[in-house]
Amino acid sequence: MSTRTTRHFFCLMIMGLCLAFVAGACTQPPPAAPPPQTWPSVVTSEDGVHYYVTGLRVPGTRQELQVRRGDANLWLPLAQISRIQFLSPGSDDFRPAEIFLVSGERLQVEVETNQILEGRTSAGYWNMPLSRMRSLEFGTE
């Protein structure tokens, strides 16, 4: 191969690579996936009133509920709880409840009711003690 042919070949190759780069740079990126659908938590009071609450949390830094099962005291993180159904009025500081975990398990426990949950509704800041709740279904917000 002559030097002239080699130069011509490399020039064509560089132009081809530049053309491929420009063509690749001009293509549109795929559209972004839509954000996941979110929904608020639903809190039902003993009076039967439903509250749609976003940002539901326990005030403070520990996002856990204290429960009692037999003689054992447990702390359940809110992130692991899907739903709480209170079964009857409690005595003292604990109330019988059925807790449905995100994993699908069900626990029959007593929930400590000297705690409040807080969050936001369409009317603004909201809070309620666990002793006044009939049920609680956690949302994704």
The first and second tokens of residue 78, run together, are 């809110």
Work out the pLDDT band at 22, boundaries 50, 70, 90: low
What is the count of structural domains for the chain? 1
Instruction: Show the DSSP H helices in 1-141 as ranges.
Output: 3-26
Q: Classify residue 25 as left (phi > 0), alpha (psi -120 to 50) or beta.
A: alpha
24 found inside a domain: no
pLDDT at position 4 over 90: no
Residue type, 17: L
111 is a domain residue? yes
Report yes or no on 6 lying in a domain: no
Q: Count CA within 13 A, CB hemisphere, residue 82.
A: 8
What's the confidence (pLDDT) of residue 132? 92
Query: Is this model's pTM higher than 0.75 or not?
Result: no
Let me know if residue 21 belongs to a domain: no
Q: Among 21-25, 46-50, 119-123, 129-133, where is mean pLDDT lowest?
A: 21-25
Which is higher by pLDDT, 68 or 24?
Answer: 68
**Any domain includes 4:** no
Which residues lie across from 128 on neighbouring strands? 117
Q: What angle do CA 67, 94, 87 make, to 5 degrees?
A: 90
Q: State pLDDT tens for residues 45-102.
A: 999 999 999 999 999 878 999 999 989 999 999 999 999 999 987 777 899 999 999 9
Q: Quick check: 10 pLDDT over 80? A: no
Domain-located, residue 26 = no
70 inside domain: yes
Task: Tell me the residue range of the domain where 119 lies.
Answer: 41-137
Q: Is 61 within the bounds of a domain? A: yes
In this prediction, residue 1 carries a pLDDT of 53
Q: Mean pLDDT across the chain, nearest whole number?
A: 87
More confident residue, 24 or 87: 87
